[in-house]
Amino acid sequence: MARTDRSRRREGRQGWRCLALLVALVPALSAARGQPCTAETVSGLSGSWTHGADATSGAGDHGFPRKELPALLRDLDRHRELLERALGEPRGFDVKWHKVVGLEPLVRGGPQPFALEAGLFHYRCEGGKVAILSDATGEADIHANGLFQLVRGTGRELGGKEIHQLAYALGELRGFPLFESPFTASLGERTAVTEWALLVAKPGRLPFRYITRGELLDYMQGELQHERRKAGEVKDPAAAARLAAVYDAKLARVAAVRRSLGATQLGEPASLRSGAIAPTSVDASWGFVEPKTDRAHRCTVDCRHGLRLVTVDPAYLDRTRPRGAPQLMVVSFTWTASARERYLGPFDEALRDAFFQRLDVGALAAMVGR
């Protein structure tokens, strides 16, 4: 693809990573490069930390006062300290980190998103010598005031608010909601990218609101009725009749799904397969699909799970606080794994588990406040 998911996020568009790790984050020469190694010892070699170029050119694009940028960058030093302690001494990989300020706020004029991102460059033993991959194959981030790791926009609105697909909710970790991104792959689907993201929000609150099944069915019915009326405007009577029949069948399917649900079920969060929110996706089998909740299982190319639908809740955000004050944190760990490994990646998953175990979630929660 022409641009990485990371570049899209910096422009304010939200979406899952699709090997966002192919960004050119080439690390400085490491002391480990060229050292003697074996396949068994390479993962234990000490790595290094390197500061890359910070991305702050868009810091004033969304009304954030540039005079406040130096203070915000100093605050990110605290995030770097937390990230360093969570990752621990790098072994078998190098770390290249940088600061990001300039992402689009969740709501116009809302808190300014900012982040500390760290690419992980794994070692390989080639010909008895350490080689370091030129592309990051993992990443550990702390993002403030954004939901870029958790949601993907659909381009559709409900009540004037964009509808987003939410990553799979995997319960709680360290007392906070944990999410996993849907499966993305590259290289002929031989390599997969998975991201776990921990949401540190205000106590007992979420920065988004779940769309219920009833609300979603109302939305789909309204969209299909709109398309049905447009079909009646087609000048060719035969073509208009064919289109009307198509939309009548779709409306009948939506009505059948509604009849199959009780009042309690209609009030539960809606969950659809990716892309199923488009009116054109409604067919004889269209309906709600339960999301993935199993942490151990990788939902890969044949995934049949659905995704919850949400809208950002503006009431969560406190407009009286400074725009650079964190009101929510998302801490994420991303890794790649091959089809040969069943998309699991034992080394990276052990590193991920240790990362979240060492993470000082109490310090992050104190920054977010109430």
DSSP one-letter string for 123-171: EEEETTEEEE-SS-SEEEEEEES--TTTEEEEEEEETTEEEEEEPEEEE
Q: Is the pLDDT of residue 191 over 90?
A: no
- pLDDT one-digit tens code per residue, 194-250: 899 999 999 999 999 999 999 999 999 999 999 999 988 888 999 999 999 999 999
Nearest in space to 83 (alpha carbons), one of 295, 327, 330, 322? 330
pTM (predicted TM-score): 0.87
* Residue ranges of domains in the chain: 5-207+313-368, 213-281
> Averaged over 257-265, what is the pLDDT?
97
Lowest mean pLDDT among 126-140, 215-229, 258-272: 126-140
Distance of alpha carbon 252 from alpha carbon 256, whole angstroms? 6
- Helices marked H in the chain: 5-10, 69-87, 213-231, 237-259, 263-266, 346-358, 361-368
**Can you read off the two tokens belonging to residue 156?**
């559709």
Residues 6+ apart with CB under 8 A from 325: 111
Cα–Cα distance list, 157 to 160, 182, 257, 309, 314 (Å):
6, 22, 21, 11, 15
